Amino acid sequence: MTCRILLAMLILSAGASAQTADTGTAHKAAATALLNSNNIGAAHLACPDFSALPGAAPAGRGPGRAAGAGGRGPAATPARETWYAEGGPVFDNLYMLTTKANSAWAVKTSEGIILIDTLFGYAAQDEIVDGMKKLGLDPADIKYIVVSHAHGDHDGAVKFLQETYKPKVILSPEDWKLAARQANPYTHDLEAADGEKLTLGDTTITIYITPGHTGGTLSFLIPVKDHGVPHVAMEWGGTALGANTSKEMLQSYISNAGRFKDIADGAGADVIIGNHTEYNDALARLDRTKARKAGDPNPWVVGKPEVTKYLTVVQECAKSWLAIDEGHPFN
Ligand SMILES: [Zn+2]
């Protein structure tokens, strides 16, 4: 073997190993290494399931989860016991309004309420209207509804709430287009801008346009207080990915997760909230919040490194799907 051939082989193998590092398996492993109760459910919805991939599956033909998280929801109202859950206060100014599967959030300000997401339409009366009243909040005080993305599990009750309480409704321009395609669309209202600060009374939340799960998914930073001590809550507004997520959307998800990670870190975000209870074991966390005694830590305050970790996990899941799309499913 000549030196030249040996050198060529070395270069080739170096190139190959650099290439194999960017595989579905490697990125999923990077996500898996970071899993804990603050992010494991997010990974379940965002990461591909290699065990279900039949051998060296063609690019992008893995199992999809995106369809399960979206759509318009069931045509008929499911039995109440299958979805009903009790909400509760999580911070001095933040209330979780939740079914077993999905969460909406009421941000209480000095001038009314900002509602983030609305759950499926069938849950509006029990979870939003009655749920708020049980927590001492008046749904008539909802001044803004901000919709993370136009899927039925998050915007299903917008029309009812918009017509009943006349709040301003905010979506991204892209997701307004998605909302307009619904059978019985709600009225087009305000369009969010990236980095927009939405102020109501004494509270300003910041809205970011982070496409990936949908073309105009919104993510949020929300100032909260725990017995008067300030914290910053982070919501990554769209999480699930699947084999039917386009390459363009995966690339957008990856870059926006990275961008939002830096933004959240810079803002000191130390709390994770989500719009699916599964993402961070939110129902159990709410139970722990309700059982909290004086002096106990707030179960939602996880610290800045956990917020970074959460966004790294979903980003690695997206990189995993992208590698599969590009034909590199396995190491
Ligand atoms: Zn969705």
Distances (CA, A) of 12 to 6, 267, 308, 324: 10, 44, 35, 22
Per-residue pLDDT of the chain (331 residues; tens, 9 = 90+): 445 544 444 444 443 334 337 899 999 999 999 999 999 999 999 999 855 544 433 333 233 333 333 444 455 789 999 999 999 999 999 999 999 999 999 999 999 999 999 999 999 999 999 999 999 999 999 999 999 999 999 999 999 999 999 999 999 999 999 999 999 999 999 999 999 999 999 999 999 999 999 999 999 999 999 999 999 999 999 999 999 999 999 999 999 999 999 999 999 999 999 999 999 999 999 999 999 999 999 999 999 999 999 999 999 999 999 999 999 887 7
Near ion ligand 1, which residues have CB within 5 Å? 69-70, 151
Q: Which domain holds residue 276?
A: 24-54+63-325
270 in any annotated domain = yes
Those residues whose C-beta lies under 8 Å from the C-beta of residue 56, and which sit 6 or more positions away, are 329, 330
Give me the phi and psi of 303, to 5 degrees please.
Answer: 95, 155
Those residues whose C-beta lies under 8 Å from the C-beta of residue 74, and which sit 6 or more positions away, are 120
Count CB atoms within 10 A of the CB of residue 210: 27
Whole-structure pTM value: 0.87
What is the number of domains present in the chain?
1
How far apart CA 73 and CA 41 sit, in angstroms, is: 20
230 in any annotated domain = yes
DSSP 57: P
Asked whether 275 and 45 are in contact (CB, 8 A), the reply is no
How far apart CA 220 and CA 216 sit, in angstroms, is: 13
12 in any annotated domain = no
8 in any annotated domain = no
Cα 319 to middle of ligand 1, angstroms: 19
Cα 213 to middle of ligand 1, angstroms: 7
Helix, strand, or coil (residue 101): coil
34 in any annotated domain = yes
2 in any annotated domain = no
Encoded tokens for 47: 């990461």
Asked whether 65 and 239 are in contact (CB, 8 A), the reply is no
128 in any annotated domain = yes
Cα 177 to middle of ligand 1, angstroms: 15
CATH of the domain at 243: 3.60.15.10
14 in any annotated domain = no
Cα 231 to middle of ligand 1, angstroms: 27
Cα 234 to middle of ligand 1, angstroms: 17
Cα 69 to middle of ligand 1, angstroms: 5
How far apart CA 299 and CA 262 sit, in angstroms, is: 23
